[in-house]
Structure 1
Amino acid sequence: MEELENNGISAEIYYTAGLDDQGELEIIEGSTEPRIGRNSFGLQPAFSFLVESRGIGIGREDFERRVNAQIATHESILKQTASHARQIKNLVAFERLNLIKKGLMPNDSDPIIIDSENKELENETLEMVDIATGTVQDIPVKYLSATDAEPTLVRDRPTAYLIKPGYEEIAEKLKAQGLKGFKLPKNVSLPAEAFTVTSKEGAGNYEGRELAEVETELTKKDITFPKGSYVFLTAQPQTNLLSLSLEPESVDSYTTFGYVPSEVGQELPIYRFTIDPKKSKMKPFLK
């Protein structure tokens, strides 16, 4: 952003603006939702950028300047990437290997953040143009930071997730994100954690799908998984994406989006496996 400002282009960390319930100006910095492209790509994991120019409701005003800002930004990103290519490749490779290791180790106090909320920062201001005087002023704002977001639900990472047969669509969606899984070739009894829905509320509509906000209770039990059940090990680079897709309380889980049916009092067809797969009855099916 410093380079942009040196070229006379104003820039800020991405945010959206609106009014809160008291009518005060509210600035929401980004979001932690995995449905958003930049976050989804980041969960691969990878470096991911979102660059937006102001323009909602202003037509072609400052069109050339806005295009110039985009070009300058992307040129800078490409140059920085080329200049640090080796470091970036090494860092991404290291983090992917680290995530694989996390999935291999059961009971290692490795928490995954299922849900979080932006944190309100105190004494924040935002530069704005006073349309009456044409001067730039610092205006006090309510600022909700995604950078400093705080966890609201955390669970230990399992070593695998199991999905009962009949949910091929879910398995295909996970595979489309780069995740690898396999089917059990026969009935297998395994210890697992089961999700039982304790509450469910409507959470609006998103791109044509009715959303549901659920809460669950975990129960450890021995379960006979039928032949054809899917197994997705968490020892994969996209392990965090896997958890955020399958943990039902995640704001963008397949339960939230209705791909997994849910009713209060019922057990979901998704299960957490928390021991070493190589020391279980799953071992013969591991490649």
Structure 2
Amino acid sequence: MAESLFVPEVASALRKKNLTTNGYVVASQENDTIKLQDFVTDTRGEVTVFLGQGLAFLSETRGIGIGDRNFQRRTTAGLTAAETVLQITADNAALVYETVEEARKDFIENDHEIIVRDQPRWMETTWPYLDAETGNITEVPVLFGNNTPPASNLTRARPEAYIFSRAWANAALRLRAAGVVVDELAVDFEGEVEAYNITSATLAETKYEGIALTTVNTELSKKTMKFPAGAYWVGTKQQHAAQAFVRLEPENPDGFVTFNILPVNAGDEYQVYRILPKSQ
């Protein structure tokens, strides 16, 4: 819906005001190759809105390293984009509401595999750049990483739930803050679970926003576990289950293991367990 309804109309509204616009990309350079990556899939910022199964839009008008140049045009562009999104939503209120509600219902009820890690689909193409010397638009060769959608390189069966000890109350608190329903067992639990065995854990040499991130690999095994009443139970048949998938799957680059909220070392058994549907 975003690509078919909103984006074309926003772009049209901007161009009617003689403003320029293009798809959102993150740029980097490797040797002589310009690399552009389509809207990144990390869930450390505004992308977290998508995990609630809704529509969200990022209009980037600030620029990086350009100070107050073209400030009026950039401000006008940002305001125009925001106003147009609101107007499209108002004009198509029933369609937007029905689409979002149907998508949420499908997400809650389906049993699709969950994506733990993904990567862009890289391809050689060209991208329109403004020539600073002539002011003309020119097509420049780039390596483009397409994330619409990304390619998955680690998937797992969707669990019925996650279960973990009250010792990790901080994790439960953070999940609840993100909208996830986290229940506490009223009675003791004993049953088969999937356990993660940490086969490798690598601490980053540099820090990300003050934290040295941990990258892990795991192996899954089945075992019987007991948990006393009061243990945390995170069911996955809920609107914000994607938050649980991202935060609790240990290999996810935005998860609690990566950010050392749930610390692990190689050889450990991760203290969050998967409850599989009875059919599995």
* Both proteins in one fold, TM over 0.5: yes
Equivalent residues in 2 for 1:1-287, closer than 5 Å? 1-20=11-30, 22-37=31-46, 39-102=47-110, 108=111, 110-122=112-124, 124-203=125-204, 204-276=206-278
Structure 2 residue identity aligned to 1:35: R
Q: What amino acid sits opposite 2:269 in the alignment?
A: E
Q: Percent identity?
A: 31
Q: How many pairs align? A: 268
Structure 1: distance between partners of 2:15 and 2:123? 24
Aligned-residue offset at 1:2: 2.7
Instruction: Work out the CA distance in 2 between the residues paired with 1:67 and 1:132.
Output: 24
Q: CA deviation at 1:225?
A: 1.4
Describe the SS at the equivalent of 1:236.
Answer: coil
Secondary structure of 1:209's match? coil
Kept after mapping to 2: 8 A contact 1:190/1:225: no
- Quote how far apart the aligned CAs of 1:232 are: 0.6
Whether contact under 8 Å (1:162, 1:232) holds in the other structure is yes
Residues in 1 aligned to 2:149 and 2:277: alpha-carbon distance in whole angstroms: 32
Q: Distance in 1 between matches of 2:191 and 2:210?
A: 37
What amino acid maps onto 1:228 in structure 2? G
Q: Which range moves more in the overlay, 194-203 or 52-61?
A: 52-61
Give CA-to-partner distance per residue, 1:212-247, whole Å, 9 cap, x none. 000111001111113321001001011122111100
The CA RMSD over aligned residues, in Å, is 1.5
Contact 2:26 2:40 in 1 (8 A): no
**Letter in structure 2 aligned against 1:130:** D
Q: Structure 2: how far apart are the matches of 1:25 and 1:15?
A: 12
Q: For structure 1, which runs of at least 5 residues remain unmatched after alignment?
A: 103-107, 280-287
Q: Following the alignment from structure 2 to structure 1, what is the Cα–Cα distance between the partners of residues 227 and 217? A: 24
1-side partners of 2:235 and 2:146: how far apart?
Answer: 33
Shift of 1:54: 4.7
For structure 2, the residue ranges without an aligned partner over 5 or more in a row are: 1-10
Q: CA deviation at 1:23?
A: 2.7
CA distance in 2, matches of 1:90, 1:54: 33
Question: Contact 1:126 / 1:140 at 8 angstroms: preserved in 2?
Answer: yes
